[in-house]
Amino acid sequence: MANNEEYDSWFDDQVLKGAEEAAARSGGPASSKETKDSTKVMFKHADGSMMDVDSLNMPPSLKSLLKVVDADDDGILDEVNVRDALKMISSIKDLFGSKGHLSHSEVENGLALLKRLVKEKEMNSSEVSYMHMPERVQDVMKEWDLDRSGSVSVVELSAAAHAHKKVKQEGRTMRRIIVGLSMVIILLLTGTFILSYMAVDLAKEMRGDSSGTMKNGNGEVVKVDSASFEVQSDGTVTTRNGTCPANTTCRPPVLQMAASKPGKALASTLPDDVFKNLEEVTLKGDNGKFIKLKIEGVKRVQTRSSKCGSIVKLTTQAGTLTIDDTSLSADDQLAAALEEAQMPSISGELGLFGRRLSASFLEGFFTMLEDMEWECTSVPLPSPKDLPSNYLAKMQVTELITGPPDDMGNNIWSQWEFTGQKTFKRLRPGVFIDAGGAYKTWTEEVLVFPNLRVAAKEFPLYPMQRKLDITKGEARASIDQTGETGYHCMLEATPVTMSLGKLVTQASNLRLVGLTQEAGLMLRQWRMDVGTDTMADEFSKIMISEYGFLGNVTLDYYDVDTDPTGKFQPGQPFRIQAFSTPAYSGAFNITAQYTEITPVDEMDVVGALNYFNVKKLSAPCEIGPMRALAASNASADQSLLQAIEQLDVVASPKVPHIDPWGPEGYDLLKWTSDEIAAAMSTGTMKRDLTGYWREVGHEKRSI
């Protein structure tokens, strides 16, 4: 209590009243101050002894206070009751007191507030008092307290919530209105822009078409004039600002113009339209001298062996200049012109397209120049030794007829005289005469595999037969085929034509000589010199080293660089040509021209023979006498012999032995004529007959 305040019994009354209400809530009998005072309460000492509170020598009010402290009404006042009472009084002091003191008015106001709040809760009151709340909360609650009663009713709270909800709804509606108005404004602005653009466009008196020509509304070309120049009646262009002396008439100054020829470093990646405007090129030497070449023609050639897929050939009055990307080459005529102009320093070594030139010394001058280039792309072709092996090649073989002069006639002309209106001589089958001499020719179909090569040769003298040459490793055999039967199987030395064919894919010293055009094709030319170190078989080595039979042999191999028709793929063989200088038997010249190449699956010896329709042998194979010169090949011969003799051996009628350029015996002609007649009668004749065989007959032939 405050020290300066007088004693007030109100506090004691409130405590007693609270005790009575607590007793009433617990179901006990209603009590009054007098009833509580008459209640007997024993005071329990710490040692457990008991003493009646009424027996204590103290004022009655203190006795009543001690009885009230017995909050559990068990009639015993112990230390627990006292501790609980002190805790309750301390809590009231902390809750309702101020500045560490507690007055009766503060306790009265606090208990009155608690009483009111408890009562409002028990009565489920519709009013919420806010005067005891903080001032900030009171300021807000006053906005909702319409009657300023100090409390807010449920009705007022509902009205405030409804007003808040209405404000939120109005805000959403307003946002929709704003978005709609914005879209309308944008639409109006867009329409205004379109209308303005159309109005301006319609107001134009002239406009440009797709070609850039200005025309008026009637479609007529707009005529414009220069403010600085004018065209006279004679076609000359004069200036407008020319002046004449007073009282005189003179012609304005004529405008003088100079031709502009922009320069550019040349490259084959420039488009053809750019080269069409090329007028001249300038070659400069490091000695200060230069030569100007006037361009007379331009030609682009598709070439797979070039850097960028094509080269450009410039024809000048001094020779031909070839451009491969930025590399430049001159032909012999142009190289000689550079030598004559004392500019040899710009000429380099011999290349694929001629004598190489230094690119930094060349510049082209154009009447018009577009700043554009193609992309440089090309796929290098493989060398012949890297080509795939599994293919079927068809070729026409031509060989120069050589030999002693006395025997040349027998090698060219038939031994038979043909009769008709008059007796005449005919060339041997397969022989023709050209400006370069007399040649013999035949066709071959060749199956090529990594370690096997089988050639089926058809000679004009034997239209009903063909000879098979089989090469496996270093062993070689030949078979005369008639129908499905193989005759005269013989292991013998490899002929020169077969060895040269194998050299292409086995050679390690092929060198690229250059490019050449033939029949619309761009061909690569490869060359090698043939000697004992390059021949594949032992017999050919012996013939070269010991007997000099072949002389000095040069082999030229041509493969396809570019074929616009697509018949030949890039890198495929096109022609093999072998020639030699004279030796014991004179010079020879053999050409194998490829006409068709088809990929096939790999086969063994029997599979290749079956491909050419050889199903059986008439007799076992024999070893020829020339194989004794190559005894080191015995194991290879045995391997090939075992492979061939997997075919059945069946006794068969005798047939002529194929000697393509041997005698035209009567028995050969008789047997072949009978076979031709039988095949024609049954419709099984597959090969075209030459004039020789069409005229062969008993009634037209005399010996």
Specify the range with the lowest mean pLDDT, choosing from 226-235, 409-418, 658-667, 672-681.
Answer: 226-235
Same-domain pairing of 331 and 451: no
Q: What is the pLDDT of residue 431?
A: 92
Answer yes or no: is pLDDT of 543 > 60: no
515-537 average pLDDT score: 75
Q: What is the pLDDT of residue 83?
A: 82
Sign of CA pseudo-dihedral 294, 299, 303, 308? positive
Specify the range with the lowest mean pLDDT, choosing from 52-61, 115-124, 319-328, 393-402.
Answer: 115-124
213-236 average pLDDT score: 74
pLDDT digits over 157-172, tens only?
A: 777 778 878 888 888 8
Same-domain pairing of 421 and 504: yes
Same-domain pairing of 494 and 556: yes
**Last residue of some domain: 326, 349, 366?**
366
Same-domain pairing of 358 and 407: no
DSSP state of 281: E
pLDDT digits over 235-266, tens only?
A: 677 777 656 655 655 666 766 655 545 555 67
Q: What is the pLDDT of residue 691?
A: 75
Q: Looking at the domain assignment, is residue 682 inside a domain?
A: no
Answer yes or no: is pLDDT of 533 > 80: no
Residues 6+ apart with CB under 8 A from 106: 96, 97, 98
Q: Looking at the domain assignment, is residue 531 inside a domain?
A: yes
Answer yes or no: is pLDDT of 538 > 60: no
Q: What is the pLDDT of residue 278?
A: 79
Same-domain pairing of 330 and 421: no
Q: What is the pLDDT of residue 613?
A: 95
**Is residue 555 classed as helix, strand or coil in its secondary structure?**
strand
Token reading at 162: 């409804």
Residue 546's pLDDT band, with cuts at 50, 70 and 90, is: very low
Whole-number Å distance between alpha carbons of 474 and 538: 8
Q: What is the pLDDT of residue 225?
A: 72
Helices (H), 519-633: 538-545, 605-611
pLDDT digits over 625-677, tens only?
A: 766 555 556 788 888 989 999 999 999 999 999 998 888 888 888 898 888 88
pLDDT digits over 137-155, tens only?
A: 777 777 777 777 777 777 7
Answer yes or no: is pLDDT of 63 > 60: yes
Q: Looking at the domain assignment, is residue 72 inside a domain?
A: no
Residues 6+ apart with CB under 8 A from 6: none
Most confident of 59-73, 332-346, 442-456, 502-516: 442-456
Q: Looking at the domain assignment, is residue 183 inside a domain?
A: no
Nearest to 310 by CA among 299, 297, 320, 321: 299
Same-domain pairing of 324 and 412: no
Answer yes or no: is pLDDT of 123 > 60: yes
- The full length of the chain comes to 703
Same-domain pairing of 451 and 549: yes
DSSP state of 633: G
Whole-number Å distance between alpha carbons of 99 and 190: 74
Q: Looking at the domain assignment, is residue 358 inside a domain?
A: yes
Residue 21's pLDDT band, with cuts at 50, 70 and 90, is: low
Residue 442's pLDDT band, with cuts at 50, 70 and 90, is: very high
Residue 387's pLDDT band, with cuts at 50, 70 and 90, is: low
Token reading at 481: 């085929």
Residues 472/506, Cβ–Cβ less than 8 Å: no
68-92 average pLDDT score: 79
**Last residue of some domain: 644, 662, 680?**
662
Nearest to 41 by CA among 80, 13, 11, 69: 69
Same-domain pairing of 455 and 545: yes
Q: Which domain holds residue 332?
A: 272-366
- Better-scored residue on pLDDT, 680 or 372: 680
Same-domain pairing of 448 and 536: yes
Q: What is the pLDDT of residue 379?
A: 61
Answer yes or no: is pLDDT of 97 > 90: no
Q: What is the pLDDT of residue 341?
A: 78
Nearest to 661 by CA among 445, 400, 464, 485: 400
Q: Looking at the domain assignment, is residue 41 inside a domain?
A: no
Specify the range with the lowest mean pLDDT, choosing from 257-271, 522-536, 556-570.
Answer: 257-271
Same-domain pairing of 410 and 354: no
In degrees to the nearest 10, what's the CA dihedral of 264, 268, 274, 279? 60
pLDDT digits over 23-50, tens only?
A: 455 444 444 455 555 678 787 777 878 8
Same-domain pairing of 645 and 507: yes
Answer yes or no: is pLDDT of 413 > 80: yes
DSSP state of 419: -
Q: What is the largest CA-CA distance in the chain?
A: 188
Q: What is the pLDDT of residue 698?
A: 42
- Better-scored residue on pLDDT, 222 or 527: 527
Answer yes or no: is pLDDT of 581 > 80: no
Residue 693's pLDDT band, with cuts at 50, 70 and 90, is: confident
Share of the chain above pLDDT 70, in %: 72
Q: Looking at the domain assignment, is residue 568 inside a domain?
A: yes
Q: What is the pLDDT of residue 32?
A: 47
Most confident of 95-109, 195-209, 228-242: 195-209
Answer yes or no: is pLDDT of 615 > 90: yes
Q: Looking at the domain assignment, is residue 527 inside a domain?
A: yes
Q: What's the domain count of the chain?
A: 2
Same-domain pairing of 644 and 575: yes
| Mean pLDDT score of the chain | 76
5-21 average pLDDT score: 49
